[in-house]
Every structure is written in structure tokens, then in C-alpha cells.
Amino acid sequence: MTAAVIGGMDRLQPHYQKTARKAGYKIKMFTGTENTITERLGSIDLMIIFTNKVSHSARKNAFEAARSENIPVIMCHSCGVSTLRDCLNNPKPDCPMKG
């Protein structure tokens, strides 16, 4: 399974990758500053948006792209590794972080 992570911290990317592998995911990282996030998403099963590290317009564009493809979106304010782990291990509709 593949998850897109929008936002987050560049220095934590290796830790994000390791955490995702342990949860059975491959992740595609986007810092939120790219102009072409929606064009580069490709085939994903889940989108996680770290809202404290991404612009409003990038969040909106990514969210709309995911919704148009019926991809589940989880929005979290925190961008820590433990937050990513929680999102990947509980991507259910009743997840409190569900967007």
C-alpha cells in the first residue's frame, strides 16, 4: 500500500520512511511547497496531511485531489513520527484525525 504524506519535516523523512515500512506502507513525501503535488501523486491508497507544515492552498489542493479519487484523507496538526505511526496504524473512518 502507498500513502502520500503532505507536509512534515525534511529532516524526519528517513524516520517517516522507516515507520511506514514497519506499518506495511510505502510513502511518497511532499513538503507542501511543490506546485505540482496533485500531478505527482500517482496511485495512492491513503493521504496524510500534516497541517502545521503546509500552506492552506497546498492543503486545499491535495485534499480536493484525494477526494476526487475517493482516497481517504487524514489531517493531523502535529508532524511527528509517532503521529505518522498512529495515522498509518489506524486509517479507519472513525479515526479522530480523519479529514
What's residue 99's pLDDT?
46
Distance CA 68, CA 43 (A): 13
In a domain, 67, yes or no: yes
CATH number, position 14: 3.40.50.2300
Greater pLDDT, 24 or 37: 24
State how many domains the chain has.
Answer: 1
Q: Please indicate, yes or no, if residue 94 is contained in any of the structural domains.
A: no
User: Structure pTM?
Assistant: 0.85
Please give the residue that has the higher pLDDT: either 58 or 82.
82
User: Is 97 contained in some domain?
Assistant: no
List the Cα angle 41/63/81 in 5-degree steps. Answer: 75
Segments forming the whole domain that contains residue 67 = 2-89
Q: Does the structure show a pLDDT above 60 at 64?
A: yes
Least confident among 2-11, 31-40, 69-78? 31-40
* Within a domain: 95: no
Residue 99 lies in a domain: no
Ordered DSSP codes for 26-70: EEEEE-S--S-HHHH--S-SEEEEEGGGS-HHHHHHHHHHHHHTT
In 3D, which of 45, 58, 36 has the Cα closest to residue 3?
Answer: 45
Query: Could you tell me if residue 80 is inside a domain?
Result: yes
User: Is 50 part of a structural domain of the chain?
Assistant: yes
Which residues does 21 contact at the CB level (< 8 Å), separation at least 6? none
The answer to whether residue 96 is domain-embedded is: no
